[in-house]
Structure 1
Amino acid sequence: MTLSDTLDRARTDSVEFPTMLANHAPMVLVALKRMGASEARRAAWYEGYRASHALPAPPPPVAPLTRATWTEALGDRSRETDARAFFRAEVARMGVDACLRLYLPRLAPGMAGSALHPLMRLAYALIDGDAPAVGDALGYWVCTYLAVPRAAGGPVTSDPVEVLAGVAALPGVRDYRVEIDLLWKNIEAVSALPGFADLAGQMQPCPQAARRMARAALALYAGTMDFSALHAVTGLHWLRLLRPHVDDPEALYPQFWAVIAALVPKIGFPDLPCAETLARLRALQAPDWPEIFATACASEDEHDISLTYSAAQEEAVWGDPLYRVVAARRVGLLPC
């Protein structure tokens, strides 16, 4: 079975599986190919993932969406099929770039939906140059849309670490409850707390935001090796791939960082490692990328594969050897 055959099968599945968990299969198949996994390995990984998670088919269509009505489906998982069909048609009509320039500004405030995984699906569709998959990703974004509020008018900062640190002082932040322990449910609950919107609104767009957030996200993950913090590293990789397709890419970063700030309680209110600790971690003798890739490709864990591929891509941009260290630690080649 070729990658195209396997991807074609993977893209017939729903974007989530019970209960409201992100289906990583199409994205992981692309990452596996990019890291050198054979066609047989990619097909076997998909079959194992599909069986272990009982991936369902998309829900039945409800009613067609149009350019005048598509926002009716925002946050409505029952409209997955309708939203995917609408955006596949829009991508075919307009082309990928024009479609993203038109719709992403409206969708960006809801990127927290399904814990950033519509962003992931969109990024990997762009990596693979797959226009129909771009439509599927936008449909996924619509039907799981989750807005994280950001209020203007208060103090401002260009330091993402200040926003993370401020979460610990929010009223009720240590006592909130969720009915089901999903990342996006935690984001939803924390972002609704008094004062969160004001705190999230402090982060302002700036040309240095991408680099500063990348540095902060990597330190957060290196210091905790936490599952939630992993999404800060991978999410910035995905966000970076959208930059050429929006007129104001800097505006995306405060929206993204508000989502990460809402995960601080889930991570455990960590202090970021000091400079000396980060220097010690960077000095660890991590294996080279080919060995890390091979180990990740042998894993059944989608997050081993996702983190490894994103870390390699981010190191290529930012030049920080700590990306290789955290990837090696994630797949068990270095102790945590």
Structure 2
Amino acid sequence: MDTTGTLDEALQRLHASGPERLGRLTNHAPMAVEALAARGQGAAVHRWLDLYASRLEEFPDAVEPITDADWRSPLGDPRRAADWIARFGRELGERPWRDVLALWWPRLLPGMYGGSTHPVIRVGHAVRTLLADRSGGGITEPRLTELAHALGYWAARHHPVADLVPVSGAADAAAALDAVVPLDVREGGFPARLGRVRSLPVWAAAVTDPAEAHRRLTELVRAATHRYATHGHGDAT
């Protein structure tokens, strides 16, 4: 992980921008610069960010603070992104980041599908920067702020999928993906497609051991990556 300050500088630049652009497209920059730094390409971070800068939009306006008594109703409301980010910023300023994550992870996990799953991916990148404190340079203000932005984006795009029929019998991740019924991607955007999902493979659903969960997730990522050539679709915008 980058310990030169380059990643923190890039995150500070990005925190003046919103989590999306054009009202629906995810801002990939925080995840991209973290990945560059994590892979030893810190020297390329600012140059890459300069090229991406035209796609960034201003940070959204706040509506009203999100309180302990009323945090459920604004879940999944993208208009409240700034309010959610501010909420997590306050929590991370008051308690250790692991405690905040442990509290909110179960609350947010059912809605991980919103934003084409980019919010939960951004949280993963943010957590990796904080875990880097084992080797130096981990827990800094820009990285805590990045976790607040990531969790806030997740809460604002929270989108559960309900009334699913379980598809059992998958022996591994590849078989689970094979069991997924393809949707016609020509019909509507991602939220519309998500609304047409009626079933979900139950492979690995009962796993509770952290080491086994990590192994299963690694297997799932590998299987999904191998299918990208035939199932991935680009968007010129």
TM-score range, shorter chain: 0.7 to 0.9
Q: Can you list the C-alpha shifts for 1:211-268, whole angstroms capped at 9, x where unaligned?
A: 244334423422543574xxxxxxxxxxxxxxxxxxxxxxxxxxxxxxxxxxxxx79x
Relative distance call for 1:217 and 1:185 in structure 2 (3 A) is farther
Superposed displacement of residue 176, structure 1: 7.3
Instruction: Indicate the percent of aligned positions where both proteins have the same amino acid.
Output: 28
Question: Which position in structure 1 is the counterpart of 2:46?
Answer: 43
Query: How big is the shift at 1:61?
Result: 0.8
Secondary structure, in 3 states, of the residue corresponding to 1:63? coil
Q: Which structure is richer in relative contact order (CA contacts within 8 A, separation 6 or more)? A: 2
- Structure 2 residue corresponding to 1:166, chosen from 159, 162, 179: 179
Contact 1:70 1:83 in 2 (8 A): no
Q: Quote how far apart the aligned CAs of 1:59 are.
A: 1.8
8 Å CA contact 2:174, 2:223 repeated in 1: no
- Residues 256-271 of structure 1 aligned to structure 2 (within 5 Å): none
How far 1:87 moved relative to its partner?
A: 0.9
SS in 1 for 2:179: helix
Computing the radius of gyration over CA atoms, which structure comes out larger, 1 or 2?
1
Letter in 1 for 2:188: E
What TM-score does the superposition give when structure 1 sets the normalisation length? 0.56
Aligned to 1:128: 129
What residue in structure 2 maps to residue 225 of structure 1? 229
1:13 to 13, 17, 35: 17
Aligned-pair distance for 1:145?
0.7
Structure 1 contact 87–135 (Cα < 8 Å) conserved: yes
Task: Look up the equivalent residue of 1:43 and give its one-letter code.
Answer: H
Mapping of 1:1-336 within 5 angstroms? 2-39=6-43, 41-51=44-54, 53=55, 55-129=56-130, 130-149=143-162, 151=164, 159-168=172-181, 174=183, 178-180=187-189, 182=190, 185-186=192-193, 188-191=194-197, 193=198, 196=199, 199-201=200-202, 203-206=204-207, 207=209, 208-225=212-229, 228=232
Are the counterparts in 2 of residues 112 and 145 from structure 1 also a CA contact under 8 Å? yes
Q: Please give the root-mean-square deviation of Cα atoms over the aligned residues, in Å.
A: 2.9
Q: Look up the equivalent residue of 1:15 and give its one-letter code.
A: P
Contact 1:73 1:143 in 2 (8 A): yes
2:17 and 2:230 map into 1 onto residues whose CA distance is 28
**Aligned with 1:225: secondary structure?**
helix
- Unaligned ranges ≥5, structure 2: 131-142
Residues 176, 189 of structure 1: 8 Å contact kept? no
Cα drift, residue 48 of structure 1: 0.9
Runs of 5+ in structure 1 lacking a partner? 229-265, 268-336
- The letter of the residue matching 2:8 is S
Q: Distance in 1 between matches of 2:82 and 2:101?
A: 19
Deviations 1:69-104 (A, max 9, x none): 122221111101000000111111122111111111
Give the structure-2-normalised TM-score. Answer: 0.77
Deviations 1:46-84 (A, max 9, x none): 121011x2x111221111111121222211111010000
SS of 2:161 mapped into structure 1 = coil
Count the aligned residue pairs: 215
Q: Is the 8 A contact 1:74 1:145 kept in 2?
A: yes
The answer on whether the counterparts of 2:7 and 2:42 sit within 8 Å (CA) in structure 1 is no
Q: Is contact 1:150-1:201 (8 Å) kept? A: no
Equivalent residues of 1:111, 1:118 under 8 A apart: yes
Distance across 2 between alignment mates of 1:153 and 1:93: 40
Q: Quick check: 2:78–2:156 contact (8 Å CA) kept in 1?
A: yes
